[in-house]
Amino acid sequence: MADLTLGQFAQMLMKASEESDAHMHAALERVAEHIEKDAKERIGHYNGAVGPFAAWAPLAPSTMQDRASKGYPADEPLLRTGELRDSIGKEVTHDEAVIGSDSDVAVAQELGTIDIPPRSFLGAAGAAALPMIQREFGMAIVSAVKGST
């Protein structure tokens, strides 16, 4: 890299600052899309521990019998009609993203209840995405500084 004057360096930083919003927002969109997709894919399958989130406990025999008696596969945790999976969505604004569900069932399953062990699919998807988040935002910063698209 050629030697820069202080003025040129200041101009480069100003341009990077202006471009960083677009790069960061694009990274945020990619990250939110990834987490939403992963959370949906966790439904119906036993999940191992990730980050602070415990591995999913096996379904109780009574739950498996109830599922089978209603025509659902006995051992697909959190999946019956697909309603829970379909309730997962994302909202991305200028500088934040929310990935979640407005389903009461999602809250009970994610956090657990007295009778139901927690089976995190939202938090676990976020925790599993940490390396991707670091990579995407790191690349966004580098792209902004370099002035590339």
121-133 tens-digit pLDDT: 999 999 999 999 9
Using a pLDDT cut of 70, give the percent of the chain over it: 97
Domain boundaries, given as residue ranges, for the chain: 22-146
- pLDDT for the residue 45: 95
- Rounded mean pLDDT of 105-118? 96
Statement: residue 8 has pLDDT above 90 = no
| Beta strands 88-92 and 97-101, pairing class | antiparallel
- pTM comes to 0.87
pLDDT at 22 over 70: yes
Alpha carbons 63 and 70: distance in angstroms, whole number: 11
3-state SS, residue 75: coil
Q: In 69-94, which positions are buried (b, 16+ CB within 10 angstroms) versus exposed (e)?
A: eeeeeeeebbbbeeebbebbebebee
The alpha carbons of the chain give a radius of gyration, in whole angstroms, of: 21
pLDDT surpasses 80 at 137: yes
